[in-house]
Structure 1
Amino acid sequence: MGLFIPTYFSPISQYSELLKFDTINFEIEDNFQKQTYRNRCYIFGANGKQLLNIPIKHSNKEGKKKTKDTLVENAFPWQSQHLKSLQTAYRSSPFFEFYEDDLLPIFSKKYKFLLDVNIDTYSFLKDALQLETEFKKTNEYKVNSENDFRYLAEVKQKTPNNPKKYIQIFDDKHGYISNLSMLDLLFMEGPNAISYL
């Protein structure tokens, strides 16, 4: 069983490890950390690598908070902005229209907790890739664990290079960008994304 942190439209590196397991364990008892894939993903926009970031509610009184208790800040229209960015970036990609209807509920549902957003994005990608992988949630923080892939949630963590390049929508302008959100691979490769992984 692999141990992962649920992230927002996870990077390709996380899925290349995740699909090696029949069951994965999502770490939800860890402390929330800023500047991780927990609340952000990167896509390929017309101007190159583009950040999509979910705003988080912060309080001056609170110390550390667990990932499972992290609240989404809905005072900003982040969902409509993210959807518009995805439509702008990928509307002319080979498979965007194929997945768009299944993607829309994530951008119209009202979320309170970040964890719920991330579980829904995982479920969307799992269905799109036709994965059989089941998931469980931890009920205590795992100190040491075999098959520990929690480090893949760190943005600054050096990840292994993707095994091979695939055609990206703006690579003629900006070159190839590795380890973007799984959405980039999905919209470009469709059902073939699983073979790439």
Structure 2
Amino acid sequence: MSIPVLLSANYLPPVSYFHAISQHADSILLDQHEHFPKQTYRSRTHIATANGILDLMIPIQHGRKEHVAMKEVKISYDHDWQRLHWASIQTAYRSSAYFEYYEDEFAPFYERQFEYLFDFNREQLELMLRLLKIQREIQCTDRYVKNYEGLDFRTSIHPKKTSVYTNPKVYYQVFEEKTGFQPNVSIIDLLFNQGPQSKMYL
């Protein structure tokens, strides 16, 4: 049995995240004990819109502690970010080939209030793996591991770093003629545009 690939629990992760999963491991190990780092995919995602890339960020509650374990990070509902995120996703993908096919699966994440970011991200991951028909067991760390013996993508899959995803192929995007192809955006972009063919792309 192969060693699980070590990943952070990310919000609607980029395509490269699922490339790492589909190509490199039979199971997933999510780090729930890492210190929550700012400006990463753990609380933000990128979607392709008519005006280019749009960042969607989940607000979190800020306590006095500078270092908070990922499993303890709480989502803030001081403003209605769920409605704004879902409206943005609908606007971006309503005309895509498969949005209507999948929208009822994603809508509950923007109606139900999760207390913890880790739980929100993990449940979304379970959904996306099911829709992509990628069968992987998901485990969670029981402690923080600095030096991992297997493949560790916690820091390499990052908004400000070059994608670890090297697939040169493009796929149809709704606004490609206007904005050009936008690589490595959220997996929902691939899923809503390619549907059942998404797994083959990965």
Q: What amino acid is aligned across from residue 179 of structure 2 in structure 1?
A: H
Pair 1:47 & 2:45 matched: no
Structure 1: gaps spanning 5 or more residues:
none
Matches within 5 A, 1:98-117: 98-117=101-120
- Residues 87-120 of structure 1 deviation map (CA, whole Å, 9 limit, x = unaligned): 1110000000000111111111111110011011
**TM-superposition CA deviations, 1:67-98 (whole Å, max 9, x none):** 11111011111111111111111000000000
For 1:86-165, list aligned pairs within 5 A. 86-145=89-148, 146-160=150-164, 161-165=166-170
- 1:24-44 CA-to-partner distances (Å, cap 9, x unmatched) read 100111000110000000001
Letter of the structure 1 residue corresponding to residue 45 of structure 2:
C
| 1:13 and 1:162 in contact (8 A); partners too | no
**2:24 is the alignment partner of 1:23:** no
Report whether the alignment pairs 1:178 with 2:177. no
Q: Which residue of 2 aligns with 1:81?
A: 84
The two structures have a TM-score, normalised by structure 1, of 0.96
Q: 2:16·2:157 contact (CA, 8 Å) conserved in 1? A: no
Deviations 1:163-189 (A, max 9, x none): 311111101011011100000000000
1:124: how far off? 1.5
In 2, Cα distance between equivalents of 1:153 and 1:26: 14
Aligned-residue Cα RMSD (Å) equals: 1.1
Which residue type is aligned with residue 199 of structure 2?
I
Amino-acid identity (%)? 36
User: What SS is found at the alignment partner of 2:155?
Assistant: helix
Contact 2:157 2:163 in 1 (8 A): no
Give ranges in structure 2 of 5+ residues lacking alignment.
none
Q: Offset at 1:151?
A: 2.0
Mapped partners of 1:152, 1:164: distance in 2? 21
Any idea what SS the aligned residue of 1:98 has?
helix
